Amino acid sequence: KNEVEQSPQNLTAQEGEFITINCSYSVGISALHWLQQHPGGGIVSLFMLSSGKKKHGRLIATINIQEKHSSLHITASHPRDSAVYICAVRAGNQFYFGTGTSLTVIP
Amino acid sequence: DGGITQSPKYLFRKEGQNVTLSCEQNLNHDAMYWYRQDPGQGLRLIYYSQIVNDFQKGDIAEGYSVSREKKESFPLTVTSAQKNPTAFYLCASSTSGTGNIQYFGAGTRLSVL
């Protein structure tokens, strides 16, 4: 069983749609990270959360510590948002990673 | 520009050969990490280092070795003992402390000839 589960695994959306990617985890965490991996492989950190909600441009990340759940929302999606989105949690000295959600936004 | 640099981008290994992947950062970060990514799997931690001259095994350290002689550098050697080395390798760094954001390099794709 993975400590971090993401859904959906794959997601295709039309440009302009509102997108939600979900992450559930089973361990006690000190922080949760949302990462973006582009087709070339490079990874960019989008958010680090320990409570509540954060917003950056069209991206919003929320976390519910009691329910051990986080969501990443993309408003007004654009083809350049196409990437793999990875949820990662820090528990003690360990990082646990989800397998990623592959998002394709069609013009 | 501050950042983390991995080289080479692509690497090929012959049977029985050791190869070394380079990771350099100029972010003045204390902590550095090596991950392996395989299709359909999350990143898995190979080794990490919280401070110079110290490093710890991650979940899948067998067949790999590292050194941390300088703060800026954390090279990973894939030894001949690693029987399935074909994967995408990512290096990351962060400031020390719980839960800090990790900054990733662009990755090295290793294939076996």
The percentage of residues in chain A with a pLDDT greater than 90, rounded to a whole number, is: 81
Q: What's the pLDDT at B15?
A: 82
Residue type present at position A83: A
In chain B, the residue whose alpha carbon lies closest to the alpha carbon of A101 is B40
Chain centroid to CA A10? 13
Residues in chain A whose Cβ is within 8 Å of chain B: 2, 4, 29-31, 33, 35, 40-45, 48, 50, 86, 88, 90, 93-100
The alpha carbons of chain A give a radius of gyration, in whole angstroms, of: 13
pLDDT (tens digit per residue) in B63-102: 999 999 999 999 999 998 898 999 999 999 998 765 678 8
Q: Which two tokens stand for residue B78?
A: 């894939």
Chain B: nearest CA to A30, how far in angstroms?
6
pLDDT (tens digit per residue) in A56-104: 999 999 999 999 999 999 999 999 999 999 999 988 777 889 999 999 9
Q: Over 60: is that where the pLDDT of B11 sits?
A: yes
CA-CA-CA-CA dihedral for A44, A23, B58, A94, to nearest 10: 100
Chain A: nearest CA to B48, how far in angstroms?
10
Interface test with A, best of B104, B108, B109, B111 (most A CBs within 10 A): B104
Contact B76, B91 (CB under 8 A): yes
DSSP class per residue in B58-91:
-TT-TTEEE--SBTTB--EEE-TT-S---EEEEE
- Enumerate the residues of chain B whose CB falls inside 8 A of the CB of residue A30: 98-99
Q: Which two tokens stand for residue A39?
A: 């087709």
Among residues A97, A74, A58, which one has the least CA distance to residue B104?
A97
Contact B108, B89 (CB under 8 A): yes
Q: Are strands A10-14 and A101-106 parallel, antiparallel or unpaired?
A: parallel
